[in-house]
Each structure stands twice: as structure tokens, then as C-alpha cells.
Amino acid sequence: MRISAFYCNTLFHFGKSFNTKFLKRKPRSVCNLHQYAPKIHVTPTHALIDEEVQIVTNGLHPGQKVTLFAHMVEAKRQYGSCGQYIADDKGVVDTSKNDSQGGTFEGVEPMGLFWSMLIRPKTSIRRLSKEDIMVPYDVTIDVLDGFYDFGDKLWSSGEIQCLTTGQLLRSYSKLGIKRIPVEEDGLHGLIFLPPGDGPFPAVIDIFGFTRESNEFRSALLASHGIASFVIRYIGYKDLPRTIEDIDYNYFLKAFDYLASHPKVDKTALGGVSTCVGGAWLFLIASKRPAMKCLVTVNGVLSPYGSRQTVEGEDIVPADYDLNDATFIDGMMAMTSMYFPDFAKLVRPAWRHGAKILMIQGLDDKCGNPNSLRYLRPFIPKEFLNSVTMVGYPGTGHLLEPPHAPHSLSNYNPYFKKHLLWGGDPKLHARAQEDSWPRILSFLHQHLRSG
């Protein structure tokens, strides 16, 4: 088994098309004209969400203190971030070279303005989530004279001297991506197809217990040439309302639907998952030899729900008990709900030869960071080389594509609690930057046709 850890010696210790209405939008503030004419350059001005952008401001006075303030509106809520910089001896601030002295992040962080985004102060906490995945984030970056913290004054139009403004569109979906709703034969979800005629390698995309459709990963996978079917399985239309009522056969049915799609290469099928989605992927791989590879991100791997018979096999769920959870500052941490013997209930995803990549945040407060260590003894020796485990210190549960803001906690309607996700913002950002290319490389390697 290949085992690696990021910044850690021991595992377990461990194409462009613009909608001009966005570019013509007025910025939050009107920047004043100055004799020395500062100007911000953002390159490219339209990027995929996982693409690094260059942000350079020139025309400043040497040693001038400025604040870069990024802000945008998503789902009628305002989000923003800021970094405090000192211009070099040429009057330049380059976020890829210069240190942020303070703000929502510190140090040399080329994408710090994005992964450190927070909701506007004094508004209800809400995790940043894309409402319409086919529409880009529309980000304005103001260069303000002087140092400002991320407080009310930063958001007060007209009270701060703005030197120059730039604009950036950040997308999950590139030109030509097709978003196809699926609501038939009891299935609910969305298929994202890459540009072109296909057939395409494809994955089924499964998240944990949420009412959100979580389309972002499937859209981004399609932008990288992999068709993806993100499914809903609880709390939507005629789907079960409770965890106990989930039918495990639903996941096999969804995979079979994907395999039968005319634009999908039936010899190049896999899966990606987050949280308890990992249990459903392991079930599918144990029953469907056509699944060539799968990725789990902070996977809860033992079945969750009720005891059922699936294609003649008795599937026993783990005995998860919310009474075993702990509370930290009013947020529910579920780590203490998972026990070592749960690993024996994990379905043998490896038995048909599927390759497995398992990503684990070592500060995950929703799953158990030790789950991979618990699982290892149950993997037969002949399949150890099929499994790769990667652990990331300081990384929480919601591990997403690069530059997504870290989320410490948010409300879950099924548990009716604020769940604690864990993670240090900077280390979490590093893990996202490292894990996503690993995932893409793994999928492209093992989803080859034939």
C-alpha cells in the first residue's frame, strides 16, 4: 500500500466565454484619480476556480501601505477578504512575492484573498456555496490607501480612499460544459458533461447528508474532461427524509444509470466522494466490477442507516450514536462517534480490482482522522498495493478544490446542530492545493478507456 503524508513524517500522526454584464458591473467604490496613477493587474481575468491568478499592483509610492480588499455577492450575501501590503522599492505589490502584514491572512499567499474569504461582519454566518454553478463568481479587488482590518469600516462606501480597482470572474464550469438534470426512475441528480461528443470517462459523485446539491466538484471535473453524475439521496422531493430510510440499492441503481448514458465510456467508470459518500462508493465498488477507481475525501466508510439485503448480501451498518458526540463551543464534533471495530463493516471495494485513493484531514472533527489506520488491517495483503492513503495535518472535514474558503462549522438540518468541521485555515488551504491535483491525476490515470 502506498502511503504518504503532506508536511507530516508519519501517516495517521499525522476555453473562455464572458458574459459582458459581469465585466460592466460597477465596483463597490469609485476609486479616486491620483497623479501617480496606481493600477491593479489581475491575470487572467476569467479563470477556473482551481486556477491560480496573478495579482499585481504598480504605480504606488515605494514603501506605501495599502490594503487589497476582495469582495463579492453570492446568493444575496456579501463575502470578502483583505491583505495588508507594503509596496517594494519600485512601487509594486505582487501577491505571489510580497508578504501580507495582516488582514484575513498573512505571509506570501498568491491566492490568500480567495481561500480566506469570510461573510461580511455582523451578518449571520453562512458557508460560501455557489448558487448557480454555471455562473462565475464576480470578484472585485480594491486597492485601498493604508492598512485596514476586516471590519465594518472596510465595507463603508466612500469612507476609504480607493486607489484602483480590478475585477475577476472565477468559474467552476468552462465554456461548453453541459449540465443535465436527472429525475427519472426514482433517481435525482445532475450529470455534467465535458465539451465535445464523447464518450467520456465518468464518475459518480456522492456527498454526505445535505440538502444542497453540491454541484461544484462535478462541474469542475467536467471542466477537466471527466463526466460526473452528482446524486441526491436524502431530503429532496420523493427521496427518503431520514437516514434510516435510505435504500442502499439506490446507489447501485445510480451507478448503473451513469454506465448506461450514451455519452459515457462504459470502460472508464469511477467515483468520488466526501464523508458518508465514501460508504456508498465502497458498496458500489464491491458490487460493480466496472468501477475501476474511487476517491474518498474524509470518508465515513462504514454503512450508515438500517440493516438491509443488497443483491443477496446482508449489509450491516455501523452503530453510530449521536449520544457519543461531543460539543465544543456549541458545535457538535462527531469524531468520538467512530470506533475501531466499525472498520470490519466497511464493504470490500478492492475485491474486483478497483484502485482506491483515500484523502484524510488529520483535524477532521466530523469523521475520525484515525479511520484509515483502523481500516488497514482489514485490507487483504494482495490488495494493499491498490490502496493509497494520504493524510494532511491541520486539515478539516470540508476539503474542497483549491482556493475554496475554509469553513469551521455550519448548520446541518438533519442533525439539527451546528457541526464542527475542524481545520486551520492556512493548513487547510495547503491541503486543498495539494490534494486536488492528486485526485485529478489519479482519475485520469485509472479512467483510461479499455
Q: What is the tens place of the pLDDT at every residue in 385-401?
A: 999 999 999 999 999 99
Residue 71 and residue 202 share a domain: no
**Does residue 15 fall inside a structural domain?**
no
In tens, the pLDDT along 181-240 reads: 999 999 999 999 999 999 999 999 999 988 777 999 999 999 999 999 999 999 899 999
Tell me the average pLDDT across 357-383. Answer: 94
Confidence label for 35 from pLDDT (cuts 50, 70 and 90): low
Confidence label for 72 from pLDDT (cuts 50, 70 and 90): very high
Residue 426 and residue 295 share a domain: yes
Residue 41 and residue 137 share a domain: yes
Pick the more confident residue, 33 or 215: 215
Residue 269 and residue 120 share a domain: no
Side-chain half-sphere exposure of 425, counting CA atoms within 13 A: 18
Q: Is the pLDDT of residue 125 over 80?
A: no
**Does residue 361 fall inside a structural domain?**
yes
Tell me the average pLDDT across 402-409. Answer: 94
Strand locations in 275-408 (E): 291-297, 308-310, 313-315, 326-328, 331-333, 355-361, 387-392
Residue 166 and residue 104 share a domain: yes
Mark whether 82 is an active-site residue: no
In 3D space, the residue among 307, 297, 300 whose CA is nearest the CA of residue 273 turns out to be 297
Confidence (pLDDT) at 415: 82
- Last residue of a domain, which of 171, 194, 223? 171
Confidence (pLDDT) at 160: 85
Residue 380 and residue 432 share a domain: yes
**Does residue 192 fall inside a structural domain?**
yes
Mark whether 364 is an active-site residue: yes
Q: Is the pLDDT of residue 326 over 60?
A: yes
CB 191 within 8 A of CB 255: no
Confidence (pLDDT) at 281: 98
Q: Is the pLDDT of residue 111 over 60?
A: yes
- Last residue of a domain, which of 171, 202, 230? 171
Strand locations in 87-219 (E): 93-94, 118-119, 137-145, 162-171, 178-184, 187-193, 200-206
String of DSSP letters for 286-321: HH-TTEEEEEEES---S--S--EEETTEEEPPP---
**Does residue 179 fall inside a structural domain?**
yes
- Last residue of a domain, which of 123, 145, 171? 171
**Does residue 369 fall inside a structural domain?**
yes
Q: Is the pLDDT of residue 3 over 60?
A: no
In 3D space, the residue among 23, 88, 99, 25 whose CA is nearest the CA of residue 57 turns out to be 88
**441 Cβ neighbours under 8 A, 6+ residues apart:** none
Pick the more confident residue, 256 or 411: 256
Domain range holding 367?
2-9+174-446
Angstrom CA distances, 301 to 30, 89, 310, 347, stand at 52, 54, 17, 8
Helix (H, G, I), strand (E, B) or coil at 135: coil
In tens, the pLDDT along 261-270 reads: 999 999 999 9
Tell me the average pLDDT across 327-343. Answer: 91
Helix (H, G, I), strand (E, B) or coil at 343: helix
Confidence label for 6 from pLDDT (cuts 50, 70 and 90): very low
Residue 179 and residue 166 share a domain: no
CB atoms within 10 A of CB 8: 16
- Residue 25 sits at φ, ψ, to 5 deg, of -65, 140
Residue appearing with cell numbers 477507481: 293
Q: Which of 82, 162, 275, 366 is catalytic?
A: 275
In tens, the pLDDT along 74-101 reads: 999 999 999 999 999 999 999 999 999 9
Confidence (pLDDT) at 204: 99
Confidence (pLDDT) at 32: 53
In tens, the pLDDT along 414-428 reads: 788 889 999 999 999
**Does residue 299 fall inside a structural domain?**
yes
Residue 182 and residue 145 share a domain: no
Confidence label for 449 from pLDDT (cuts 50, 70 and 90): low
End-to-end CA distance of the chain: 24
Tell me the average pLDDT across 437-445. Answer: 98
**Does residue 428 fall inside a structural domain?**
yes
Helix (H, G, I), strand (E, B) or coil at 382: helix
Q: Which of 364, 366, 403, 428 is catalytic?
A: 364
In tens, the pLDDT along 276-295 reads: 999 999 999 999 999 999 99
Confidence label for 375 from pLDDT (cuts 50, 70 and 90): very high
User: Could you tell me what percent of the chain has a pLDDT over 90?
Assistant: 79
CATH number at residue 231: 3.40.50.1820
Q: Which of 46, 188, 261, 397 is catalytic?
A: 397
Tell me the average pLDDT across 121-137. Answer: 89
- Residue 67 sits at φ, ψ, to 5 deg, of -120, 125
For helices 249-259 and 277-287, the axis angle rounded to 10 degrees is 70
Q: Is the pLDDT of residue 443 over 70?
A: yes
Residue 348 and residue 421 share a domain: yes
Q: Is the pLDDT of residue 271 over 70?
A: yes
Residue 350 and residue 267 share a domain: yes
Q: What is the mean pLDDT of the chain?
A: 90
In tens, the pLDDT along 351-363 reads: 999 999 999 999 9
**Does residue 14 fall inside a structural domain?**
no
Confidence (pLDDT) at 293: 98
Cα of 59 vs its chain's centroid, Å:
36
CATH number at residue 142: 2.60.40.2240
Residue 221 and residue 166 share a domain: no
Q: What is the pTM of this model?
A: 0.91
Residue 33 and residue 150 share a domain: yes
**Cell numbers given for 76:** 444575496
Number of domains the chain contains: 2
In tens, the pLDDT along 132-187 reads: 999 999 999 999 999 999 987 888 766 788 999 999 999 999 999 999 999 999 99
Confidence (pLDDT) at 228: 99
Mark whether 275 is an active-site residue: yes
Cα of 335 vs its chain's centroid, Å:
20
Q: Is the pLDDT of residue 5 over 60?
A: no
